[in-house]
Amino acid sequence: MGTLYDMQHRLELRDIPGKGQGVFSARDFKAGDTISVGVIKKILSKNERNATQIGEKKFVLLAGLMSRINHSCDPNCGIKPNLLGAYDLIALKNGKRDEEVTFDYALQNYVIDYFTEKCACGTAICREDITGWRDLPLERRKEYADFVAPYLIEMDRRKTERPVENE
């Protein structure tokens, strides 16, 4: 396992000209490193902006900067469930100090309810619409493999077993 970074001291919220704000790493990191430990601040009764989905109908607000991390269609981080019932942010690739930390919102949301605007990630494989796991191409799902919320895999499995079931 990689280095465990302190959320408060290793990540910084910074302005991005023309794009609002983003969360940046204050140090170099390597693929496999835990960039941030997710801690639940509040359990919500429904989905809302900045919410993190941790189950089919479970939404929470995470502490610190975790809820402020921008989406990218080609992110440098994925997520893994932790013992606190939230997700840790895990680096998918090596990164440099001052690099923006991103993950794909499809890794924690089956469908995306709160992003009607077009994606601004600017990567070569941008999907334009910020879609959820349900709408992610199969090859992309395979690439993310171990870095998605387990309940998404579980929902897929149930749909495959009972394809006529309602959403």
Please give the residue ranges that form the binding site for Zn ion (CB under 5 A): 73, 119, 121, 126
Contact 79, 107 (CB under 8 A): yes
Q: Which is nearer to Zn ion, 66 or 119 (CB)?
A: 119
Give whole-number Cα distances, 79 to 28, 40, 52, 108, in Å: 19, 15, 11, 8
Q: Which is nearer to Zn ion, 23 or 121 (CB)?
A: 121
> At closest approach, how far in Å is the CB of 121 from Zn ion?
3
> At closest approach, how far in Å is the CB of 118 from Zn ion?
8
> At closest approach, how far in Å is the CB of 73 from Zn ion?
3
User: What SS3 class is residue 11?
Assistant: strand
Q: Which is nearer to Zn ion, 39 or 126 (CB)?
A: 126
Q: Which is nearer to Zn ion, 90 or 121 (CB)?
A: 121
> At closest approach, how far in Å is the CB of 160 from Zn ion?
27
